[in-house]
Amino acid sequence: MLLAFLTTIIAALGTVTVIKSDSFFQPSLPIEWIKLVALLLALFSVVCSWGHSLLALKIEGSPELPKGSEITAYLEELDIQSREQFIVASYHEAIENLSEVIGEKKKYIAIAYEELTMSAWFFGIVSAIAIGIEILS
């Protein structure tokens, strides 16, 4: 959901930036330079947020429980107690590894939301300056 939202925002911002490029990319006053820098920082923040969202979706490193015919044959050879110990140990190992992977993904999502918040502030600055310039002219 976050990734779809960010992709839509990037496309919309790209379109608006191209349409309004003459007012953004030809600054002559110091306030217009501030508006341009705020716009570029906002765009950069949105793109970084998108990238961190993609990193959170990355499936690499996910643990798996043992599977296949070899493990089935191995388990059939064991007595019930050894079989249970093996299954419990495999489960605990997978859960520990999965907890680490989930922790990494949570970190990327938190960073993505922080960057999204920063971009909202920068877009607020751009909007406030644009409205101020429009009112004063």
User: pLDDT-based confidence at 60, cuts 50/70/90?
Assistant: confident
Question: Residue 12 has what pLDDT?
Answer: 85
Question: Residue 65 has what pLDDT?
Answer: 72
Summarised one tens digit per residue, pLDDT across range 1-16 is: 777 888 888 888 888 8
CA distances for 126 relative to 18, 51, 53, angstroms:
15, 23, 25
The secondary element (H helix, E strand) that includes residue 11 is helix 2-19
Start-to-end CA span in the chain (Å):
40
Q: Is the model's pLDDT at 81 over the cut of 80?
A: yes
- The identity of residue 27, as a single letter, is P
User: pLDDT-based confidence at 110, cuts 50/70/90?
Assistant: very high
Q: Is the model's pLDDT at 70 over the cut of 90?
A: no
Q: What is the widest separation between alpha-carbon atoms in the chain?
A: 86
CB 93 within 8 A of CB 68: no
CA distances for 120 relative to 7, 12, 15, 23, 38, angstroms:
15, 14, 17, 20, 10
Q: Does residue 61 come out as left (phi exceeding 0), alpha (psi in the -120 to 50 range) or beta?
A: left
As a whole number of angstroms, the distance between CA 60 and CA 134 comes to: 50
CA torsion through residues 37, 40, 42, 44, sign: negative
